[in-house]
Amino acid sequence: MTTPAGIDAAIRATSSDEIPFALIEQGFEAFPKPAGKKFEYGTTGIRTKGDTLESTCYRLAIIGALRSKSLNGKLIGLMVTASHNPEPDNGIKPIDSRGEMLDVTWEPYCTAACNAVDAQEFFGILKKLIHAYKIDLKTPAKVIYGHDTRPSSPMLIKAVASGLAAMGAQTIDAGLKTTPQLHYLVHAHNTAGTEEAYGEPTEEGYYKKLADAFLKLVEGKPATSKLTVDCANGVGAHALLNIQKYIPSSALEIRALRTAIGTKGALNDGCGADYVKIGQKLPKDIEKDGVQQGDRMCSFDGDADRIVFYYLRGNPAQKDSFRLLDGDKIAALATDYISELAKKAGIELNVGCVQTAYANGSSTKYLEQRVPVTCTPTGVKHLHRAAEHYDVGVYFEANGHGTVLFSPDALKLLSEAKPTTPAAEDALIQLRNLVDVINQTVGDAISDMLLVEVILRSRQWDCEEWDALYEELPNKMLKVIVKDRAAFTTEDAERRLVTPTGLQAKIDEVVAKYKDARSFVRPSGTEDCVRVYAETGLAAELDSLANNVAKLVQEASDA
Ligand code: G16
């Protein structure tokens, strides 16, 4: 075994074992880093063009193995996906041992490791990581990996498997999975056989857990109309088809559209949650599928970790007949429902809500009148952590990414409560089953879809009645392609820019000219662009505000 210079006693002191440098070095040659390419750990892992990511996947697999060792050999996950991005993009999302996102303190090591120009520099980073987290190299590593439907996935999975093999990690190749399924599998594996057992650690176990809970929740409640699902031509189609084996159409009639997993170029193309949310319009050409006024519809994104609902109100020929029921509306629906159930069950639960700056002003106002509300930067990792401060933390990004967390105390209360009336008992049973239908590890399109169906069914509401909870302020999102998005830095949960210097003051000046307006700018952590969000009291002024702020961003970038 060759031992590169720079490996000092710090590593050896942590263990009698060594890092297999020679093996790792071979992979370095097999998966070279594209010259000049810079990688950055973003909102959720590393994401860019799929054909440039082999070196990154190889290196993050090695870091993944170290992460598992640092957690006493617990299973961690690596998901190869670029989620809502176009098909040529890909990425890798590391998953921590409780099924949550990777500990943020590891992110700078991931960025540095992926940018290392040679094996020596890479080994130096591993050395620092091992030292900082006192990793015992003798501890075995266990890693599960999966992928979505992108054409570049098999090539990247090969790089992941090579990195893990070089580290001698025990591996589980989960194959084609939705991102939330991989999060579920990690948590279910690590809790199997314990008091906290989360579920059977198989894909089938995932479907069974969600379906069983759903069927109990809707028992005796008549089905309303069918649900039309746009699967974004992604892995969500596979999961939806499978869960239907456990949920008979008499309990939930589903019409699955955009299910062309094998069609090149189809993923997220003119469909999917991001297309619908950003464009505030139906998936392209869906009218041809016979969509009608009042139909309840929803869209998944490419890896099925987000969902938005929508319907047509009034004359479908009118542009404004499209009505979006996004993550904010799901949060309002879920918060009200859970709060009411807790009251009926006679248990005290501190229900809170977590949003980001993208939350519509009307939704924040609506929620603040009912529960405490926290605002965090974009990214599930931030919302998830903030939601853990509540007994029941409802977190949703406006883009449809979110879930509901029940704290260990809340779970204890639910299991020990002794209801005194039949109505209280019904509410308690409903709450207990809700815990099981909701994916507690991360936002999950399938699980959130079932949650919404349960609530609408229970209230006997159609989309229009749900929509009536509040009227959202006209809003718009634009992408600006800039020279260097790293030049845009923010503070105050991304609501204000720090740099480029002076730009925030100019944005403030523009916003002040519009009635009840709000606008903010932040660099995307998943796409090479800066996002502009604008919201106004008057619909007629919206385009003008968004365009003027976007112009300021472009000018600052060009300066
Ligand atoms: C990811 C994150 C989300 C985030 C989204 C957009 O979603 O998990 O929390 O809202 O990216 O992030 P950004 O605005 O930084 O590009 P997904 O579904 O693409 O994995």
Residue 192 near residue 230 (C-beta atoms within 8 A): no
* The CATH classification of domain 205-314, taken from the options 3.60.9.10, 3.40.50.300, 3.30.200.20, 3.40.120.10: 3.40.120.10
**Dist CA 290 CA 497 (whole Å):** 45
Cβ–ligand 1 contact at 127 (below 6 Å): no
Q: Is 59 annotated as a binding residue?
A: no
Answer yes or no: is 295 a known binding residue. Answer: no
Band of the pLDDT at 176, cuts 50, 70, 90? very high
User: Exposed, middle or buried by CB within 10 Å (0-12, 13-18, 19+), for 339?
Assistant: middle
What's the 483 CA to ligand 1 centre distance in angstroms? 21
Token pair of 356 as six digits: 């980001």
pLDDT at 525 over 90: yes
Buried-exposed string 259-287: b where 16+ CB fall within 10 A, e elsewhere: bbbeeeebbbbbbbbbbbbeebebbeebe
* Candidate of 40, 44, 522 to mutate for ligand 1, largest count of ligand atoms within 8 Å of Cβ: 44
Closest CA to 60 of 163, 171, 130: 163
In this structure, the chain runs to a length of 559
- 399 marked among binding-site residues: yes
- Using alpha carbons only, what angle is made at residue 314 by residues 311 and 319, rounded to the nearest 5 degrees? 75
Fold match, 327-467 / 475-558 = no
- Residue 192's pLDDT is 97
Establish whether residue 306 lines the binding site of ligand 1, counting it when its CB lies within 6 angstroms of any ligand atom: yes
44 lines ligand 1 (CB under 6 A): yes
- Asked if residue 339 has its Cβ within 6 Å of ligand 1, the reply is no
Tell me how far CA of residue 46 lies from CA of 24, 176, 254, in angstroms: 21, 19, 34
Atom 4 of ligand 1, residue of closest alpha carbon: 379
Structure tokens at 498: 């720090």
What lies within 8 Å, CB to CB, of 1 at 6+ separation is 18, 20, 21, 22
Atom of ligand 1 nearest to the CA of 356: 10
Structural domain 4-198, CATH architecture = 3-Layer(aba) Sandwich (3.40)
Cβ–ligand 1 distance for 83 under 6 Å, the answer yes
Does the annotation flag 398 for ligand binding? yes
Domain range list for the chain: 4-198, 205-314, 327-467, 475-558
Assign 287 a pLDDT band (cuts: 50, 70, 90): confident
The per-residue pLDDT for 10 is: 32
Q: What is the pLDDT of residue 316?
A: 78
Instruction: Map tokens 């989620």 to a residue.
Output: 83
| Unique residue bearing structure tokens 């999060």 | 183
What does the pLDDT look like over 106-141, one tens digit per residue? 999 999 999 999 999 999 999 999 999 999 999 999
Q: Is the CB–ligand 1 distance for residue 399 below 6 Å?
A: yes
Whether the pLDDT of residue 5 is over 80: the answer is no
CA dist 68 and 138 (Å) reads: 12
Q: Are 442 and 99 in contact (CB under 8 A)?
A: yes
CATH number of 475-558: 3.30.310.50
Of 23-27, 381-385, 455-459, 499-503, the one with minimum mean pLDDT is 23-27
| Ligand 1 centroid, distance to 425 Cα (angstroms) | 39
86 lines ligand 1 (CB under 6 A): no
Mean pLDDT, rounded, for 169-182: 98
- Structurally, at CATH architecture level, domain 327-467 sits in 3-Layer(aba) Sandwich (3.40)
Residues above pLDDT 70, as percent of the chain: 97
What's the whole-number average pLDDT of the chain? 94
pLDDT at 3: 33
Residue 453 annotated as binding site: no
Question: From the CA of 40, how far away is ligand 1's center (Å)?
Answer: 14
| pLDDT at position 315 | 81
What is the end-to-end Cα distance of the chain in Å, rounded? 52
Share of the chain above pLDDT 90, in %: 92
Looking at per-residue pLDDT, the higher value among 303 and 223 belongs to 303
Rounded to the nearest angstrom, the distance between the alpha carbon of 14 and the centre of ligand 1 is 37
Q: Which residues are catalytic, by number?
A: 83
Q: How far is the CA of 89 from the centre of ligand 1 (A)?
A: 14
What pLDDT, in 10s, does the model give residues 403-429? 999 999 999 999 999 999 999 999 999
Q: How far is the CA of 396 from the centre of ligand 1 (A)?
A: 12
Residue with CA closest to ligand 1 atom 9? 379
CB distance 433 to ligand 1 below 6 Å: no
> What is the tens place of the pLDDT at every residue in 251-285?
999 999 999 998 999 999 999 999 999 999 999 99
How many C-beta atoms surround the C-beta of residue 459 within 10 A? Answer: 15
Whose CA is closest to atom 2 on ligand 1?
379
User: What is the predicted pLDDT for the residue at 17?
Assistant: 66
Q: Is 301 annotated as a binding residue?
A: yes
Residue 430: which region, alpha, beta or left (left: phi > 0; alpha: psi -120 to 50)?
A: alpha
Dist. CA 29–CA 52, nearest whole Å? 15
